[in-house]
Each structure stands twice: as structure tokens, then as C-alpha cells.
């Protein structure tokens, strides 16, 4: 009797948990799902609000990649900008994080504080002066006018996360390699560098995603399609013709922009979560 | 080479970039805020006139409206995101089957570019869109004040509550199971266990999550810029700054607005840490 009651309660608990899981999944995925569904609807049915397209078609994707559309250019620009930001931030961020995690020097806390303070300013506070500065240098509408501010935005968090990773590494191994006769640079390259790959890779994913998603700086710095990244291109999409409802086209473009990120997230969710939480919580 | 020289060389590139694109522009904006915005000729030094104009002069109404809206968005979104985040974290913490799927799907809203999410929500909140359809409503969401605000809060909460959940989950996972077992044996109920075990132990993670979110919410720009472009009293401080400095080409006045904005952010963060998080943030974290 009491066993049955216990089982019923446990079964009820499991069902409740499943239901709760379902709610979380719907909350997180339904809007993205709606974007995919809308992107597959032909323009005439775009507002029929059916949960599945009645006549699925790829006409929106054809419009996104068709002639007269600059979206392929925008994808290329986003890729160039985000990849450059990631490479530059990782190279100089690894230098900085190594110094902060491994070297004892005066002013270490000051430098840490500096990195933290630099992450607190709102982007809009720097927008107009940077625009002025880059205008003086003739840099408006160039890749570097977006790459360098993005590096500045990603460095504080990147250095912070890398420093936590580096501080937790088994540095005894480096010392052991040194006693076995390796030079400092050999010990670093053959022992420490391979071990730090996961941490560096995790940070690189975070930096890449934030650069790929940047909108505010790109929106002021880029003025023609040949340097405009996808975020700006989508916000400015007008559809195939100017009388067209750009809903479907924008959704198709949104899916194209988001799918690489969703794949990154699915492949590397553990790494991404450890990176996101390394800055905030000490596990 | 001594450690100080080496550290200097290793830190130089990062510090140089941050000085160029963050520290210099911020100082330049502060400096420029003391000059007027005449269309031609050299700008004249006018002391605190731009600040006076923003706080109680001709720009006062706009500034305080943006101030109210920004803090309203911040309080509402942070409270909603923490509540939903706590719920989601508790669910994920208890699930063992399909945990990987849950965690991956929770990252999807975070990974979607804000610009794309804003466009998605703009169409969803269209009068003919899915939101009205699902709820059988007939609201012009982005055409009136409170519906516009609701749409922005909703879109922001959807995008960031999962992120908050992940930060809280990381805090939950460091609580040893034995603590709960012991409390259960001692007869502590679910609510009691939550209040006296979970909440205190998860507090450091929660404080950090709330601080991060607050700093972000106070500089909210992309979502309202794309969803409403600041119409219907949804102009946040960030939108106001961009409009003044780049739209109206008034770098002096825009500089005063941006200085006020980051001072407000600093003061809010400082008060928050002092009042709530002193213990949680005071430990050595490197």
C-alpha cells in the first residue's frame, strides 16, 4: 500500500519534471522554430500564422542569395571581421592572461582592475569619439574600424576567462620540464601550450560569437554593402522589391546567420558553459 | 628579463587596444562635454552648461524620460530573468536524462544575434503576427507606449533568462548532495531547504549574474533601436546618446549625456555591490 503510494508519487514527480523540461525547451526553442517556419513560407502566406507552412518553399532563401542581394557579401564581411577579431583578441589576450596568471609583478591588481573597469563603459560612450578619430584617419567604412573596437569589447571578458583557466593549470609540469633540461620557451611550447588549448578554444568561441553578433559599432562604421556585416544587413533588409513584405526574406537571412551559431552551440555546449561561468563563478 | 619587464611586454598590446578604443574615447567624450556644439568654427568652453541642459534645461524632459525607461527596463527584466532563471536552473539541475539537450537548447537564445532576435520579435509583434494570433488579441504592439515596452521586456527576457539560468546552475552544482540529504533527514521541507540551503549557497553566483545583467540592461541599445527605434517612450539612455552625438551631430551635448549615463551605471553597480554583494564579491577570484 505504502509502496504503491510512493511509486505513484515518484511517477508523478518524473512526469512533472518531464513537463517542466518540455516548458524550458519550448521557451528556448519555439521562437527560433518560428523563424525557421516563417522563412519557409512563400510571401503570400507569410501572415497566415499556420504553425507549419502549407506550401513550403525556398523562395525566401533564393531571394537572400539571389542576384541583386548583397547578403553573400555581408556573410563574407561578418566572417572576415569575426575571424580577425577572434585571432587578434586571442593572441594578445593569451599574452596578457599569462602575465596576470603566472607572473608576480607590481601593479598586477591595478591591471586587473583596469581590465574590469574597461568592460563597464557602455558602448555608446565610446561610439562618437571613436567615429571622430577613425574619420580623421580616413577609416570610416573599413574593416579595421569595426575590428579594433570589437577587439576592445571582447578583451576584458576574454582576458578574465583566460586568466582563470591559466591560474588553474598544472604549472608543476612546466617546472618538471625545466628540471629535465627544457628551456623556458620549450617548456611553454611543449607542455603548457598543448594543455591550454581547451581554455583558449573556449574563449575563442565566446569571442567569435560576440563579434558575429555585434551591431551598434558596425551600424555606424559601415556605410556600403561591401563592408557591412550580416547584423546590419538584416536590420536594413528591404526584401526583393521595395513593395515586398521583407518578413520572409529577413527570417531566411536570420536562419542563415543563426545556424552556424546553433551548430557551434550544439558541438561545444560544455566548453561554452564552462567559459561563460568561469568569469562569474569559481567551481 | 625580469618578471616586471616581461609582464609589461605581454600586457602592452591588450592595454594599448583598450586605451585606444575605450579609455581615450571615454576621456575624449568627457572633455568634449565641456564645449558647445556650434556648426562652424572652434567650439567654445562652456563649463557644465551641457550637463545643466540635460539635467534641468531644454533636454531635461528627454533625459529624465530616458532615465525612467532605462531603469524600468532594468528592474523589470532583471527581476523576471532571475525568477525564470532560478526556475530553469532548478529544472536543469534535477534532470539527468536529456541534460545535454536542455543545456544546448538553453544556449540557443543567447547565441542568436540580438539584431536578428529583434527583427524576429518585430514581426512576431506585428499586428498581423503570431503573438496576436496565438492570444486572439488585436494589439498594435509596437505602436503604443505600454505594448512597446512589453515587447522589449519580453524579447530581452527571452534572450537572457537562459544565460542567467546557466550562471545559477553553475552555482547549484557546487552544492554537495549530502547537505540536502542531511536536511531532509532532519525533516526540512522543500521551501525550508530552498530558503536555508539553496539560496545562501547559490547567492554568490546569483549576485554575479545579477550584476552582469544589470550592467548590460542599463546600456540596452540594440533591441529598442531595432524594435521601436525609441518611439513611444522607449528611448533608453543609450539611444538618446547615439541620437544626440551621431544623429544630431552634437558631440558636446552627446558627450555630456554619455558621461551621465556611465556615471549612473557606475553608481548603480557600486551601490548594488555595497548593499548586497560585498561578501560575495570580496573574495580572491583569480
One DSSP character per residue, chain A reads: -HHHHHHHHHHHHHHHHHHHHHHHHHHHHHHHHHHHHHHTS-GGGTTS--SS-SS---HHHHHHHSTT--HHHHHHHHHHHHHHHHHHHHHHHHHHHHHHHH---TTHHHHHHHHHHHTTS-HHHHHHHHHHHHHHTT-TTSSHHHHHHHHHHHHHHHHHHHHHHHHTS-THHHHHHHHTT--HHHHIIIIIHHHHHHHHHHHHHHHHHHHHH--HHHHHH--STTT--HHHHHHH---SSTTS-THHHHHHHHHHHHHHHHHHHHHHHHHHHHHHHHTT---
B27-61 tens-digit pLDDT: 999 999 999 888 777 888 898 999 999 999 888 89
Chain A residues with CB inside 8 Å of B222's CB? 215-216
Which is more confidently placed, A278 or A271?
Answer: A271
**C-alpha–C-alpha distance, residues A63 and A27, integer Å:** 30
Q: Which three cell numbers stand for residue A7?
A: 511509486
Q: Does B26 touch chain A (CB under 8 A)?
A: yes
Residue A283: its pLDDT value, please? 32
This complex has an ipTM of 0.84
Chain A residues with CB inside 8 Å of B254's CB? 128
Residue A241: its pLDDT value, please? 46
Find the residue in B nearest to A266 (Cα). Answer: B104
Find the residue in B nearest to A16 (Cα). Answer: B91
Residue of A39, A125, A146, A232 to mutate, interface with B, max B Cβ within 10 Å: A125
Chain A residues with CB inside 8 Å of B247's CB? none
Residue A116: its pLDDT value, please? 83
Q: Which residues of chain B have pLDDT under 50?
A: 280-286
A118/B116 Cβ within 8 A: no
**C-alpha–C-alpha distance, residues B157 and B151, integer Å:** 10
A170-215 tens-digit pLDDT: 778 888 888 888 887 788 788 887 888 888 888 898 899 889 999 9
How many angstroms separate the CA of residue B3 from the nearest CA in chain A?
6
Find the residue in A nearest to B160 (Cα). Answer: A28
Domains plus CATH for chain B? 62-281 (1.10.3720.10)
Residues 170-199 of A with CB under 8 A from B: none
Residue B282: its pLDDT value, please? 44
Inform me whether the pLDDT recorded for A72 exceeds 70. Answer: yes
Given a contact cutoff of 8 angstroms between Cβ atoms, the answer to whether A95 and B192 are in contact is no
Q: Which three cell numbers stand for residue B282?
A: 570580496
Question: E-strand spans in chain B?
Answer: none
Question: SS3 for B45?
Answer: strand
Find the residue in B nearest to A105 (Cα). Answer: B4
Find the residue in B nearest to A131 (Cα). Answer: B246
A118/B114 Cβ within 8 A: no
Residues 49-68 of B with CB under 8 A from A: none
B250-286 tens-digit pLDDT: 889 999 999 999 999 999 988 988 887 555 444 444 3
A224-263 tens-digit pLDDT: 989 999 999 888 776 544 445 578 888 999 999 998 888 8
Measure Cα distances from A138 to A223, A228, B42, B240, B284 in Å: 13, 17, 21, 26, 45
Q: How many CB pairs under 8 A join A and B?
A: 278
Q: DSSP readout, A4-37? A: HHHHHHHHHHHHHHHHHHHHHHHHHHHHHHHHHH
B105/A29 Cβ within 8 A: yes
Rounded average pLDDT over A84-107? 91
A269/B100 Cβ within 8 A: yes
A127-140 tens-digit pLDDT: 889 998 999 999 99
B246/A220 Cβ within 8 A: yes
Which is more confidently placed, B248 or A12?
Answer: B248
Query: What number of H helices and E strands is found in chain A?
Result: 12, 0
B123/A21 Cβ within 8 A: no
Contacts of A135 by beta carbon, 8 Å cutoff, 6+ apart: none
Residue B279: its pLDDT value, please? 52
**C-alpha–C-alpha distance, residues A50 and B102, integer Å:** 26
Contacts of B226 by beta carbon, 8 Å cutoff, 6+ apart: A215, A235, B115, B118, B119, B122
B130/A277 Cβ within 8 A: no
Q: Does B263 touch chain A (CB under 8 A)?
A: no
Amino acid at each position: 500500500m505504502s509502496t504503491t503510494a510512493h511509486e505513484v508519487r515518484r511517477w508523478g514527480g518524473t512526469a512533472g519534471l518531464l513537463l517542466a523540461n518540455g516548458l524550458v525547451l519550448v521557451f528556448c526553442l519555439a521562437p527560433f522554430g518560428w523563424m525557421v517556419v516563417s522563412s519557409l513560407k512563400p510571401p503570400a502566406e507569410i501572415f497566415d500564422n499556420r504553425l507549419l507552412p502549407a506550401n513550403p518553399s525556398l523562395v525566401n532563401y533564393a531571394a537572400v542569395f539571389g542576384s541583386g542581394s548583397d547578403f553573400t557579401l555581408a556573410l563574407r564581411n561578418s566572417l572576415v571581421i569575426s575571424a580577425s577579431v577572434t585571432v587578434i583578441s586571442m593572441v594578445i589576450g593569451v599574452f596578457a592572461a599569462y602575465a596576470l596568471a603566472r607572473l608576480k609583478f607590481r601593479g598586477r591588481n591595478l591591471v586587473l582592475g583596469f581590465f574590469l573597469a574597461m568592460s563597464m563603459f557602455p558602448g555608446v560612450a565610446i561610439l562618437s569619439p571613436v567615429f571622430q578619430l577613425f574619420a580623421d584617419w580616413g577609416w570610416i567604412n573599413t574593416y579595421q574600424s569595426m575590428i579594433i573596437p570589437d577587439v576592445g569589447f571582447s578583451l576584458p571578458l576574454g582576458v578574465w576567462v583566460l586568466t582563470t583557466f591559466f591560474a588553474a593549470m598544472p604549472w608543476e609540469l612546466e617546472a618538471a620540464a625545466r628540471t629535465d633540461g627544457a628551456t623556458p620557451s620549450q617548456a611553454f611550447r611543449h607542455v603548457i601550450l598543448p594543455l591550454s588549448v581547451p581554455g583558449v578554444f573556449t574563449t575563442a568561441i565566446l569571442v567569435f560569437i560576440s563579434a558575429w553578433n555585434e551591431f551598434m559599432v558596425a551600424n555606424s562604421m559601415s556605410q556600403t554593402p561591401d563592408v557591412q556585416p550580416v547584423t546590419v544587413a538584416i536590420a536594413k533588409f528591404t526584401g526583393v522589391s521595395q513593395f515586398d513584405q521583407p518578413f520572409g526574406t529577413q527570417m531566411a537571412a536570420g536562419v542563415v546567420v543563426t545556424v552556424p551559431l546553433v551548430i557551434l552551440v550544439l558541438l561545444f555546449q560544455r566548453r561554452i558553459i564552462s567559459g561563460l561561468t568561469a568569469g562569474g563563478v569559481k567551481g | 628579463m625580469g618578471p616586471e619587464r616581461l609582464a609589461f611586454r605581454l600586457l602592452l598590446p591588450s592595454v594599448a587596444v583598450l586605451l585606444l578604443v575605450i579609455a581615450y574615447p571615454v576621456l575624449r567624450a568627457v572633455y568634449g562635454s565641456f564645449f558647445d556644439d556650434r556648426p562652424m568654427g572652434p567650439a567654445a568652453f562652456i563649463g557644465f552648461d551641457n550637463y545643466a541642459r540635460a539635467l534641468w534645461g531644454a533636454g531635461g524632459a528627454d533625459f529624465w524620460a530616458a532615465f525612467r525607461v532605462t531603469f524600468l527596463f532594468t528592474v523589470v527584466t532583471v527581476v523576471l530573468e532571475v525568477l525564470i532563471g532560478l526556475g530553469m536552473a532548478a529544472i536543469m539541475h534535477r534532470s539527468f536524462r536529456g541534460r545535454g539537450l536542455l543545456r544546448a537548447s538553453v544556449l540557443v537564445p543567447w547565441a542568436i544575434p540580438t539584431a536578428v532576435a529583434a527583427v524576429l520579435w518585430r514581426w512576431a509583434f506585428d499586428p498581423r503576427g503570431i503573438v496576436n494570433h496565438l492570444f486572439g488579441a488585436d494589439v498594435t504592439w509596437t505602436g503604443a507606449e505600454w505594448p512597446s515596452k512589453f515587447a522589449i521586456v519580453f524579447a530581452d527576457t527571452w534572450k537572457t533568462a537562459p544565460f542567467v539560468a546557466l550562471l545559477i546552475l553553475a552555482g547549484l552544482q557546487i552544492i554537495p548532495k549530502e547537505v540536502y540529504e542531511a536536511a531532509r533527514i532532519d525533516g526540512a521541507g522543500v521551501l525550508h531547504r530552498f530558503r536555508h540551503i539553496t539560496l545562501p549557497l547559490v547567492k554568490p553566483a546569483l549576485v554575479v549574474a545579477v550584476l552582469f545583467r544589470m550592467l548590460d540592461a542599463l546600456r540596452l541599445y540594440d533591441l529598442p533601436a531595432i524594435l521601436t527605434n525609441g518611439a513611444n517612450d522607449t528611448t533608453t539612455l543609450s539611444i538618446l546618446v547615439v541620437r544626440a552625438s551621431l544623429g544630431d551631430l552634437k558631440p558636446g551635448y552627446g558627450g555630456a549625456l554619455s558621461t551621465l549615463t556611465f556615471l549612473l551605471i557606475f553608481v548603480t553597480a557600486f551601490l548594488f555591490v555595497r548593499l548586497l554583494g560585498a561578501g560575495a564579491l570580496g573574495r580572491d577570484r583569480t
